[in-house]
Amino acid sequence: MTAPTTFRIGGDPEVRRLGFGAMHLRPGTAEARAACIAVARRAVDLGVTLIDTAHMYGWGANEDLLAEALHPYPEGLVIATKVGIRHTASGEGWRHAGDPADLRAQVDEALRRLRLDRIELLQLHRLDPHVPLPDQLGALRDLREEGKVGRIGLSEVTVDELAEARSVVDIAAVQNRYNLLDREHEPVLKACEAADIAFLPWRPVAAGESGARTEIAAVAKEVDATPTQVVLAWLLARSPVILPIPGTTSVAHLEENLGANAVHLTQEQYDRLGRVSAPA
């Protein structure tokens, strides 16, 4: 099977479909920070043109680190980030923050941390149940019209929520949990495919499970690849709108992940993988 290697988010910009999720880059010591910077730079060296981050990842530290590692950004690199969540000292450690004034402040903070004049893909990390959706998306739409945001995306939404959001503003991307062994959000993927909306599956590799499944291991052996590469290749073949964003803190694992670009599945192998069921 031959899958397209690029996708135009919201019609433009064009990115390579296999991107990088920066969530795990959590610098602590100077040594850890240097290692995280090395991973981010290696991702770009290997041709990654889409990197996903969020305010929630270290409460700004992840965005700061990406700017330190990659600014001035190479031409064609898209840094996508997410807003809509604030840190708290109690409970789950976070709260919804979809008030329009708060969203505007969060975007300004992200622009400062990332050293950008415009965020090409800004995603609402969670819909705030306490704020009308038109107010949340209206704030992001206003920021887009002001030139601070290029395209608007959503995260963790249902088909109905996506449809409601699209009645307010154009949606360029959706980020939901999805992988070969977890296809709960298949209806959302299909809705994105029908509308040519980018679908960024978070947790695209079922960590610790893919390599233990005999069916996946068998295909990996047939194509001389690792189980991780096989499940990523399956995602790339699954739909042209899927943009996997596997993350890691290891250069070796990064190189393994991106090696999935070179894995080509036959139709029979793709179908066989598709029949693998989620663990009970």
DSSP state of 277: P
Q: Cα–Cα distances in Å, from 24 out to 13, 55, 107?
A: 25, 13, 22
Q: Is 150 in contact with 182 (CB distance < 8 Å)?
A: no
User: Out of 57, 73, 178, 270, which one is annotated catalytic?
Assistant: 57
Q: Cα–Cα distances in Å, from 154 out to 84, 173, 197, 280?
A: 10, 6, 11, 29
Q: Is 228 in contact with 211 (CB distance < 8 Å)?
A: yes
Query: Whose CA is closest to 172, among 192, 148, 144?
Result: 192
Active site residue 178: no
Q: Encoding tokens for residue 278?
A: 């989620």
Active-site residues, by number, are: 57
